[in-house]
Amino acid sequence: MTSPRFTGTERPTGLFRLSERGWGYLLAAPAFALVGLMALAPIMAALWLSLHRRMPIFGVDEFVGIWNYLQLWNDDRFWAACRTTLYFTGLSVTAELILGFGLAILLDRVTSGTGRSPRLAQVMIILPWAIPTVVSAQIWAWLYQPDYGLLTYLLLQSGFIAAPIDWLADPDWAIHAAVVMDIWKTTPFAALLLLAGLTSVPQELYAAARVDGAGVWHQFRHITVPLLMPVIVIVLVFRTMDAVRVFDAVFVLTGGGPGNTTETLSIYAYKTLFQTLQFGYGSALATAMFVIVAALSSLYVLLLRRHLRETM
Amino acid sequence: MAGAFLLLWVLSAAGCAQGGGGADPAATVLVFKHGKLSGDGAVVSELLREFEQRRPGVLVREELLPASSDRQHQYYAMNLDGGKAPFDLLAVDTIWVQEFAKAGWVAPLDDLLPQAERDEFFPGPIMAATFDHKLYAVPWYVDAGVLYYRRDLLDRHGIAPPATWPELVHAARVILDAEQDAELAGFVWQGKQYEGLICAALEVIRSHGTDLWTGDRGRAETGLQFLRDTISVHGITPLSTSMADEESTRRLFGDGRALFMRNWPYAWSLLERAGSPVRGKIGMAPLPSFAGHAAAPVLGGWLLAVPQHSPRREAARELIRFLTSPDAQRRIAVAIGYNPARRALYAEKSLLDIRPVLKDLYPIFLAARPRPVTPYYLMLSQSAQPEVSALVVGRKTARETLEAVRRHAERLAIDEGAPFVEAPL
């Protein structure tokens, strides 16, 4: 008995009589199912939960429609958390992109040579990103300490400040202290992505530009940036998503205080979900966060599309 | 670095599973969950071994949670909600009992502690543990806010421990001005945005004959304003207090860098232990009040409870009786300075000889008042914390703060259809 062979001329029968498109769907189905199960189902579950008033400790579980969202609309704490989150995101993502670009160009210069030092430089730069956030936040909390912290000591010694500043206790400084820590931690990530982009830019373009008499700035402005735009958008999307959802960095440093000046949306959601156990309202908060991330990401992609259309 | 973490991990794993377990497969293994005790918690392990000897066939496994009350609450909330808790006995904070009882997470223990015996405990914890006329937890040890002061510095300037808040400000100002020590702070308290801040604020406001959520607004605003003024006007409290919790203030005071400190009694043993820079130089007093009003220490402390559906409930109840017995309470008090919940012990000469401070603490514990006794307390506190923290750092005025705190409470009362019950004065 030999197994049936498909010669290309016989038409398959029964289950196998599918069009090419049908086959495509069939073969992609497991992947769809997986994505649906892993990504879509939890999102839908959270969305469904956000339409309930649910506090298991008091046995409260009722469908309330958009009541949670109406509450959210009138919740000053929610709007304050939105402002804090967007402020944090704007500052940290901008700085990370600029600094990351600088680092990437530096690394690109170094790595174009050979030897051990380029690798070492890459490893050194990536290190902050490799440290778990909770650990690095704790390290920064010590650095920020007004009495024995390194930062205050250095600033005092160099004469930049006259008296110790309590970075985390001062409501004006606290959020910026968190931003600085985040920049330190995730600039390497931006740099790494941009470096990958940089190495793919054909060197001939620079050579041609030099022949035409273009300076370094013009080369950067008209060759590097346009060619890297897709990578820049990827960096922006990734970093924005992370920054909007920021939790551990800020939570370890300040816990949302003082006076809620550093309470981001995730911290508010965490406190609502896990400290006061209001699952419905907490889910509404999480959904709002999701909407913000989605809106910002679509904005970036839209900008990228327009950019590509204009340049190509 | 990695080695250090590995070591920590191994140590914590070892710490999580002290004693018990594994020896006898037929034995009933009771899992006792509680937060890490300050200092050396060996005395509790010793007591548990003794219980095992008295009750052959029962083994007790101690499982520790982080010392932070918030973390413990989160753990219990997640594990008790399913109805099948992986433990048989738990230590609960005074502010959780109402919530856990209403949620049906812990079993009533009425018959374990007859009415007559309840009177042998301080009234505060019993009140906090009574929900719907039933007792849901047995007081294990009690806490209340107290004022620590540097006896040596006060003596040097001929100043008595302050009885009122203005006296405290005056004393701090005089001594700070005379000492001219840039390292020395006047008065430190827990100002971080967390439960401890609510305790500190309640004590000031209640010592003005009103309360944070109810009662006279004007006097409550004066109380709140006082908290802010210690930082901004009197300059006796460093701004870092707005990020300070119990331990950071205890360390500051313990390094000899603060004149007055609001804290719980647990700090006493740590400040007085050998090698402490302030050993023998400190005193403990009731918290000050505003003139014409009584001091109002907030009640803290921990109680023991049994999960609703524990299959080993009988043995767990016996263990509660054992751990809250006068003998066990005495030994815990001697070893780690946790204060007995039973009043009679405060009259025992042998115990007072070892821990004379108990004599001063007795009237304070007797007067200590619980935070609002309601299942909704955590929500109430959670909504007030950011507001009071904003006041501390000067982002809101006392009036705005009080307004916001009470507005949140009213909203809560409407949403839940159940206004909280205020602890009687």
Distance, in Å, from the CA atom of B369 to the CA atom of B120, rounded to the nearest integer, reads 17
pLDDT digits (tens, 9 = 90+) for B136-145: 999 999 999 9
Q: How confident is the model at residue A112 (pLDDT cuts 50, 70, 90)?
A: low
**Do B175 and B154 touch, CB atoms closer than 8 A?**
yes
Average pLDDT for A271-291: 91
Side chain identity, residue B202: L
Question: What is the reported pLDDT for B9?
Answer: 45
Side chain identity, residue A104: A
Measured in angstroms, the CA of B145 and the nearest CA of chain A are apart by: 22
- With a cut of 90, say whether residue A59 has pLDDT above it: no
DSSP secondary structure, A187-205, as one string? HHHHHHHHHHHHHTS-HHH
Measured in angstroms, the CA of B80 and the nearest CA of chain A are apart by: 9
Average pLDDT for A263-280: 91
pLDDT digits (tens, 9 = 90+) for A19-28: 888 889 999 9
Distance, in Å, from the CA atom of B171 to the CA atom of B154, rounded to the nearest integer, reads 8
CA distances, A219 to each of A96, A107, B155, B186, B393 (Å): 22, 18, 75, 61, 49
What number of H helices and E strands is found in chain A?
A: 14, 2
**Contact: A274, B238; criterion CB under 8 Å:** no
**Closest alpha carbon within chain A to B385:** A259
- Interface-testing mutation among B242, B411, B414, B416, with chain A (most A C-beta atoms within 10 A): B242
**Closest alpha carbon within chain B to A163:** B182
Domain with CATH 1.10.3720.10 in chain A: 69-311
Of B177, B133, B137, residue with least CA distance to B153: B177
Average pLDDT for A9-17: 60
Across-strand partners of B188? Answer: B261
Distance, in Å, from the CA atom of B372 to the CA atom of B214, rounded to the nearest integer, reads 10
**Do B370 and B363 touch, CB atoms closer than 8 A?**
no
Task: Collect all residues of chain A within an 8 Å Cβ-Cβ radius of residue B105.
Answer: 57
Task: Collect all residues of chain A within an 8 Å Cβ-Cβ radius of residue B392.
Answer: 258-259
B81 CB within 8 Å of a chain A CB: yes
Of A99, A309, A108, A312, residue with least CA distance to A206: A108
Question: What is the reported pLDDT for B231?
Answer: 95
Q: What percent of chain A clears pLDDT 70, i.e. is strictly above it? A: 92
**Do B99 and B375 touch, CB atoms closer than 8 A?**
yes
CA distances, B148 to each of A95, B247, B256, B322 (Å): 46, 14, 12, 33
Output the six-digit token pair for A218: 């013009």
Measured in angstroms, the CA of B406 and the nearest CA of chain A are apart by: 15
Task: Collect all residues of chain A within an 8 Å Cβ-Cβ radius of residue B375.
Answer: 57-58
- 0.85 surpassed by complex ipTM: no
Q: Kindly report which listed range (A5-9, A173-177, A242-246) carries the lowest average pLDDT score.
A: A5-9
CA distances, B170 to each of B10, B102, B123, B265 (Å): 51, 46, 34, 24
Output the six-digit token pair for B275: 């090698």
Q: Which structural domains are found in chain B, ordered by start?
A: 15-142+299-367 (3.40.190.10), 146-285 (3.40.190.10)
Mean pLDDT of chain B, nearest integer: 89
Name A198's Cβ contacts closer than 8 Å, sequence gap at least 6.
A104, A105, A108, A224, A228
pTM given for the model: 0.85
Of B190, B95, B130, B188, residue with least CA distance to B381: B95
**Closest alpha carbon within chain A to B380:** A276
Question: What is the reported pLDDT for B15?
Answer: 42
Q: How confident is the model at residue B406 (pLDDT cuts 50, 70, 90)?
A: very high
- Interface-testing mutation among A54, A55, A57, with chain B (most B C-beta atoms within 10 A): A57
- With a cut of 90, say whether residue B119 has pLDDT above it: yes
**Contact: B396, A260; criterion CB under 8 Å:** no
Instruction: Considering only the beta carbons, identify the residue of B81, B102, B393 that sits closest to A171.
Output: B393
B99 CB within 8 Å of a chain A CB: yes
Q: Kindly report which listed range (B214-228, B283-297, B404-418) carries the lowest average pLDDT score.
A: B404-418
**Closest alpha carbon within chain B to A260:** B386
CATH number 1.10.3720.10 is the correct assignment for the domain at A69-311: yes
**Do B169 and B236 touch, CB atoms closer than 8 A?**
yes
- B345 CB-contact burial (10 Å; exposed 0-12 / middle 13-18 / buried 19+): buried
Residues in chain B: 425
- Interface-testing mutation among B393, B412, B416, B420, with chain A (most A C-beta atoms within 10 A): B393
Of B289, B298, B252, B267, residue with least CA distance to B145: B298
Q: What is residue A272's DSSP assignment? A: I
Give B 213-242 residues with CB within 8 A of chain A.
Answer: 238-242
3-state secondary structure at position B387: helix
Average pLDDT for A98-107: 91
Residues of A within an 8 Å Cβ radius of B: 56-59, 77, 146-147, 166, 168-171, 254-261, 263, 271, 274-278
Question: What is the reported pLDDT for B310?
Answer: 86
Q: How confident is the model at residue B6 (pLDDT cuts 50, 70, 90)?
A: very low
Measured in angstroms, the CA of A94 and the nearest CA of chain B are apart by: 28
Residues in chain A: 312
Measured in angstroms, the CA of B45 and the nearest CA of chain A are apart by: 30
**Contact: B238, A59; criterion CB under 8 Å:** no
Apex B114 CA angle, B110 and B119, nearest 5: 115
pLDDT: is B20 or B274 the higher one?
A: B274
Measured in angstroms, the CA of B388 and the nearest CA of chain A are apart by: 7
Task: Collect all residues of chain B within an 8 Å Cβ-Cβ radius of residue A168.
Answer: 243
Question: How many CB atoms within 10 Å of residue A288?
Answer: 21
Kindly calculate the radius of gyration of chain A based on its CA atoms and give it in whole angstroms: 26
Name B206's Cβ contacts closer than 8 Å, sequence gap at least 6.
B296, B298, B369
Task: Collect all residues of chain A within an 8 Å Cβ-Cβ radius of residue B77.
Answer: 57, 274, 277
pLDDT digits (tens, 9 = 90+) for A195-231: 999 988 888 888 898 898 888 888 888 888 889 998 9
Strands B28-35 and B89-93: parallel
pLDDT digits (tens, 9 = 90+) for B289-346: 999 999 999 999 999 999 998 889 999 999 999 999 999 999 999 988 899 999 999 9
Instruction: Considering only the beta carbons, identify the residue of B103, B239, B243 that sits closest to A58.
Output: B103
Measured in angstroms, the CA of B421 and the nearest CA of chain A are apart by: 17
Of B227, B282, B290, B279, residue with least CA distance to B259: B282
Give B 147-186 residues with CB within 8 A of chain A.
Answer: none
Q: Kindly report which listed range (B11-25, B197-211, B303-317) carries the lowest average pLDDT score.
A: B11-25
B22 CB within 8 Å of a chain A CB: no
Phi, psi of B336 (to 5 degrees): -125, 5
Element containing residue A128 per DSSP (H, E): helix A117-130
**Do B33 and B79 touch, CB atoms closer than 8 A?**
no
Q: How confident is the model at residue B7 (pLDDT cuts 50, 70, 90)?
A: very low
Element containing residue A28 per DSSP (H, E): helix A20-35
**Contact: B382, A276; criterion CB under 8 Å:** yes
Task: Collect all residues of chain A within an 8 Å Cβ-Cβ radius of residue B393.
Answer: 169-171, 258-259, 261
Average pLDDT for B354-371: 94
B127 CB within 8 Å of a chain A CB: no
